[in-house]
Amino acid sequence: MLVKARMTPNPVTVHEDTSMHEALRLMRERKVRRLPVLDTAGKLVGMVSEKDLLYASPSPATSLSTFEINYLIAQIKVAQLMSKTLITVGEDTPLEEAARIMVDNKVGGLPVLDTAGNLVGIITETDLFRIFLELLGARERGLRLTLLVPDKRGMLASLAGAVAGLDGDILALGTFSSQQPGQALLAMKVRDVDRQALLDALRTLGIEVVDVREA
């Protein structure tokens, strides 16, 4: 799956001369935590986060009057607070690559550009969390199993065959690295299958059931 399938298209944006107060208002109104910043030509020039804006806000302990505080805030523009070091991805970037870039760079969102360099969307950690829920079938009811599987060719086919042989349906299947050499950790959710019959079939294949529960 590619970024364009899960990004938020036409994201909320601000311009360089947008005030800090207006940017904060937009974030709270639209329920977003970061805003791409555009120049007068509509090109992406920065990103500003809610944290950037809150860090720039006056401390409650300030001795300034309310009038003075409001005046100073009105003078602060997004251009003074935004990050100008941009990390972006293209529409055709694989989702896992976008996730890797976020983790490696410790950022919570990436602007998405088309081949002409125009801003067309944004992909955020929230989007990736939703994808994670889909991959593991978190919104589907079924039998959830954590399995330690021999890391050898054909095991996934054998596992799928065992479920199919019991007239079951695999809702989700995810593979994870294991600290045990020669073993892979799998999370699987199935439905329409007898619990004990499935456990017996898995053990016959040499698969260790680490955890099993209705979820």
80-111 pLDDT per residue, tens: 999 999 999 999 999 999 999 999 999 999 99
* Contact call for residues 37 and 16 (beta carbons, < 8 A): yes
Contact 171, 190 (CB under 8 A): yes
Question: Are the folds of 3-133 and 137-214 the same?
Answer: no
| pLDDT value, residue 1 | 92
Cα dist from 27 to 30, 51, 151, whole Å = 5, 11, 47
For tokens 């054998």, name the residue.
158
- Is pLDDT above 60 for 117? yes
pLDDT tens by residue, 182-215: 899 999 999 999 999 999 999 999 999 999 999 9
Look at the chain and count its residues: 215
The helix/strand/coil state of 14 is: strand
Local confidence band at 71 (pLDDT 50, 70, 90 cut-offs): low
pLDDT tens for 123-134 read 999 999 999 999
Calculate helix-pair angle for 66-75, 20-30, nearest 10 degrees.
90
Q: How confident is the model over 119-177, as pLDDT tens digits?
A: 999 999 999 999 999 989 999 999 999 999 998 899 999 999 999 999 999 999 998 88
94 DSSP 8-state letter:
B
Give the domain ranges of the chain: 3-133, 137-214
- Predicted pLDDT of residue 70: 58
Question: Is residue 76 exposed (0-12), middle (13-18) or buried (19+ Cβ within 10 Å)?
Answer: middle
Task: Give the Cα separation of 111 and 89 in Å (integer).
Answer: 7
Q: What is the CATH number of domain 137-214?
A: 3.30.70.260
User: Is 3.10.50.40 the CATH number for 3-133?
Assistant: no
Task: Tell me the pTM.
Answer: 0.80
| Cβ neighbours of 56 (radius 10 Å) | 14
28 by DSSP, 3-state: which?
helix
Q: Is the pLDDT of residue 67 over 60?
A: no
Name the pLDDT band for 178 (thresholds 50, 70, 90).
confident
